């Protein structure tokens, strides 16, 4: 897979989600936000416990999650227009020495400065495609910066402008919990790395890209593989070719939706809750399992409901409902189609007639798509403006700060994965790259998965 060109810069005259939140908070626009705190700069809530306002504000943040130190006052107090001028000037001074990457869910005020815009994997590849850059400024979240560090050169510094930009879903699978799960599964199923007479191991671990480098390293050490929301089915096919069961983490919904579409019955996908013995399942459930689903979820995509889809269909006859596979299964079932952010983008681009789209994914991406495709009617299924809390931690003030520090010869907020974790994590990523759709999965294995 190659790096993508920038395809989703915001239209300069369309109001951004940030500006709409400001207007709603000031009473100058109708509509509602999930928290009025969103109207404040992230430095106002970086020191408060929790993920901050937005979709993940109810999630439990791990005790050891990185915290961002104080952003210098000059950046906190600078007017927005000045910050944009300073970012442009710093980028111009740095030239090819820096590449700025912006995730699809990032706020427009930051995305407008990105050299590449994409999903986490596209951006990791974009980082790889710029060996000339001394620094890669990743305007996404922590696990994405780690992945960019895994795939970029050893001399390149990957920078996360705000260290508090984690991901609540990735944080739901911590390495100690996963090691403990593996040990408990061994107690039930026997040695997990030993193949049976058929050449298949009892369990293959599969982790979603949205996980820490430590989890990717664990997967790499145990013959497992990484997946994205674009290739989850291909990866699960490869995993079933190697093993009798899959342990899928951290997102239960992507795992369930993908396996269900492959024909795996729901009653053969027990949940693993790391706070319960045997994950809350019985030993028999685990022996009978085809996919063991980790109890993780994305708080952005969990907001979408069947009721929202029903309302969209009632108010917009003929509407096409497209949702992300991180949404709950009943939402995916009620939608017309489900797919990755890239799938959603392509579905809209491919529509030749004016179409009404109701989209189930993060609001910044939906608003940007609506601005880019005025021939269509495009709206977010969730009527409440509620961005990804952690992505929202990156503000132009942080971007201006890290870039001006680079101009001054200083690298701040570097994300570097330890070598002992990086080696197996890269193996798990390489296995994913080698997995091809419709590959050579034995027919008896396909039948076994469907059984
Ligand atoms: S949208 Fe969900 S999975 Fe993506 S970074 Fe935000 S919390 Fe994590």
Question: What confidence tens digit (pLDDT) does each residue in 92-151 have?
Answer: 999 999 999 999 999 999 999 999 999 988 898 898 899 999 999 999 999 999 999 999
**Tell me, what's the pLDDT at 438?**
61
Picking from 380, 406, 434, the residue at the C-terminal end of a domain is: 380
Question: What confidence tens digit (pLDDT) does each residue in 258-294 have?
Answer: 999 999 999 999 999 999 999 999 999 999 999 999 9
Name the burial class of residue 336, with classes exposed (0-12), middle (13-18) and buried (19+) by CB atoms within 10 angstroms of its CB: middle
Tell the residue number behind the tokens 């951290």, with chain if given.
250
For atom 8 of ligand 1, the residue with the nearest CA is: 167
> In this structure, are 188 and 208 located in the same domain?
yes
**Tell me, what's the pLDDT at 23?**
92
**Tell me, what's the pLDDT at 125?**
86
> In this structure, are 98 and 163 located in the same domain?
yes
CA-168 nearest atom, ligand 1: 7
> In this structure, are 435 and 357 located in the same domain?
no
> In this structure, are 273 and 215 located in the same domain?
yes
> In this structure, are 433 and 286 located in the same domain?
yes
Question: What confidence tens digit (pLDDT) does each residue in 390-444 have?
Answer: 999 999 999 999 999 999 999 999 999 999 999 999 999 999 988 877 654 455 5
User: CB of 158 within 8 A of CB of 128?
Assistant: no
Answer whether residue 130 is part of any domain.
Answer: yes
Mean model confidence pLDDT for the chain = 93
> In this structure, are 157 and 305 located in the same domain?
no
As a dihedral over the C-alpha atoms of residue 356, residue 106, residue 307, residue 351, rounded to 10 degrees, the angle is 20
Count up the domains in the chain and report the number.
3
> In this structure, are 368 and 408 located in the same domain?
no
Answer whether residue 2 is part of any domain.
Answer: no
> In this structure, are 134 and 206 located in the same domain?
no
* pLDDT > 90? residue 167: yes
325 labelled ligand-binding: yes
Answer whether residue 186 is part of any domain.
Answer: yes
CA-143 nearest atom, ligand 1: 5
Residue 148: give its domain's CATH number.
Answer: 3.40.50.10800
How remote is the CA of residue 398 from the centroid of ligand 1, in Å? 20
* pLDDT > 60? residue 329: yes
> In this structure, are 166 and 215 located in the same domain?
no
**3-class DSSP state of 213:** helix
**Tell me, what's the pLDDT at 197?**
87
Our answer on whether the CB atom of 210 is closer than 6 Å to any ligand 1 atom is: yes
Tell the residue number behind the tokens 């790889």, with chain if given.
128
> In this structure, are 181 and 164 located in the same domain?
no
How remote is the CA of residue 167 from the centroid of ligand 1, in Å? 5
What is the percent of the chain with per-residue pLDDT over 70, rounded to a whole number?
Answer: 94
> In this structure, are 399 and 335 located in the same domain?
no
**Tell me, what's the pLDDT at 6?**
41
For atom 2 of ligand 1, the residue with the nearest CA is: 298
Question: What confidence tens digit (pLDDT) does each residue in 218-242 have?
Answer: 999 999 999 999 999 999 999 999 9
Q: What are phi and psi of 369, to 5 degrees?
A: -65, -40
Our answer on whether the CB atom of 212 is closer than 6 Å to any ligand 1 atom is: no
Residue 270 CB neighbours (<10 A): 21
Answer whether residue 385 is part of any domain.
Answer: no
Q: Which residues contact 135 (CB under 8 A, 6 or more apart)?
A: 94, 97, 98, 99, 156, 157, 158, 159, 406, 411
* pLDDT > 70? residue 4: no
Answer whether residue 47 is part of any domain.
Answer: yes
**Tell me, what's the pLDDT at 414?**
98
How remote is the CA of residue 343 from the centroid of ligand 1, in Å? 17
> In this structure, are 27 and 154 located in the same domain?
yes
Our answer on whether the CB atom of 362 is closer than 6 Å to any ligand 1 atom is: yes
Q: Which of 75-79, 401-405, 445-449 has the lowest mean pLDDT?
A: 445-449
Tokens at 197, concatenated: 């007479």
**Tell me, what's the pLDDT at 9?**
54
Tokens at 276, concatenated: 């319960």
**Tell me, what's the pLDDT at 198?**
86
Picking from 380, 409, 435, the residue at the C-terminal end of a domain is: 380
**Tell me, what's the pLDDT at 423?**
97
* Nearest C-alpha neighbor of 109 from the set 412, 399, 406, 390: 399
Picking from 327, 362, 380, the residue at the C-terminal end of a domain is: 380
Question: What confidence tens digit (pLDDT) does each residue in 295-322 have?
Answer: 999 999 999 999 999 999 999 999 999 9
Q: From CA 7, how far away is CA 174, in angstroms rounded?
A: 34
Domain of 357 in residue numbering reads as 301-380
pTM: 0.93
Answer whether residue 446 is part of any domain.
Answer: yes
Answer whether residue 6 is part of any domain.
Answer: no
Our answer on whether the CB atom of 168 is closer than 6 Å to any ligand 1 atom is: yes
125 labelled ligand-binding: no
Answer whether residue 9 is part of any domain.
Answer: no
């Amino acid at each position: 897979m190659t790096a993508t060109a920038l395809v989703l810069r915001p239209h300069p005259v369309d109001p951004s989600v940030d500006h709409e939140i400001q207007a709603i908070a000031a009473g100058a626009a109708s509509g509602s936000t999930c928290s009025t705190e969103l109207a404040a700069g992230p430095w106002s809530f970086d020191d408060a416990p929790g993920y901050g306002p937005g979709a993940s504000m109810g999630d439990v943040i791990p005790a050891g999650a990185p915290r961002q130190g104080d952003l210098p006052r000059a950046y906190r107090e600078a007017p927005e227009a000045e910050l944009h001028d300073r970012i442009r000037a710093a980028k111009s001074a740095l030239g090819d020495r820096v590449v700025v990457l912006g995730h699809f869910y990032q706020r427009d005020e930051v995305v407008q400065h990105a050299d590449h815009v994409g999903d986490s994997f596209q951006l990791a590849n974009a980082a790889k495609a710029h060996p000339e850059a001394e620094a890669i400024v990743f305007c996404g979240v922590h696990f994405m910066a780690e992945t960019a560090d895994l795939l970029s050169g050893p001399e390149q510094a990957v920078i996360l402008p705000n260290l508090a930009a984690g991901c609540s879903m990735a944080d739901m699978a911590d390495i100690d919990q996963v090691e403990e799960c593996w040990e408990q599964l061994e107690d039930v199923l026997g040695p997990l790395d030993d193949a049976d007479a058929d050449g298949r191991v009892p369990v293959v671990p599969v982790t979603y890209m949205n996980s820490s480098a430590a989890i990717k390293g664990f997967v790499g050490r145990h013959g497992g593989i990484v997946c994205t929301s674009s290739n989850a089915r291909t990866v699960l096919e490869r995993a079933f070719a190697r093993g009798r069961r899959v342990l899928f983490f951290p997102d239960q919904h992507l795992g369930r939706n993908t396996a269900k579409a492959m024909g795996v019955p729901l009653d053969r996908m027990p949940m693993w809750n790391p706070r319960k013995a045997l994950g809350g399942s019985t030993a028999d459930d685990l022996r009978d399992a085809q996919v063991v689903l980790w109890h993780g979820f994305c708080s952005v995509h969990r907001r979408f409901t069947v009721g929202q889809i029903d309302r969209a269909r009632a108010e917009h006859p003929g509407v096409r409902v497209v949702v992300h596979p991180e949404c709950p299964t009943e939402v995916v079932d009620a939608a017309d189609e489900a797919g990755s952010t890239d799938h959603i983008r392509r579905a809209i681009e491919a529509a030749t007639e004016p179409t009404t789209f109701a989209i189930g994914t993060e609001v910044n991406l939906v608003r940007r798509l609506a601005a880019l495709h005025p021939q269509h009617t495009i709206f977010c299924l969730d009527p409440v403006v509620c961005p990804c809390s952690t992505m929202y931690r990156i503000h132009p003030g942080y971007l201006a700060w890290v870039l001006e520090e680079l101009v001054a010869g200083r690298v701040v907020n570097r994300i570097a994965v330890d070598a002992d974790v990086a080696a197996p994590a890269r193996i798990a990523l390489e296995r994913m790259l080698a997995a091809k759709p419709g590959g050579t999965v034995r027919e008896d294995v396909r039948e076994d998965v469907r059984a």
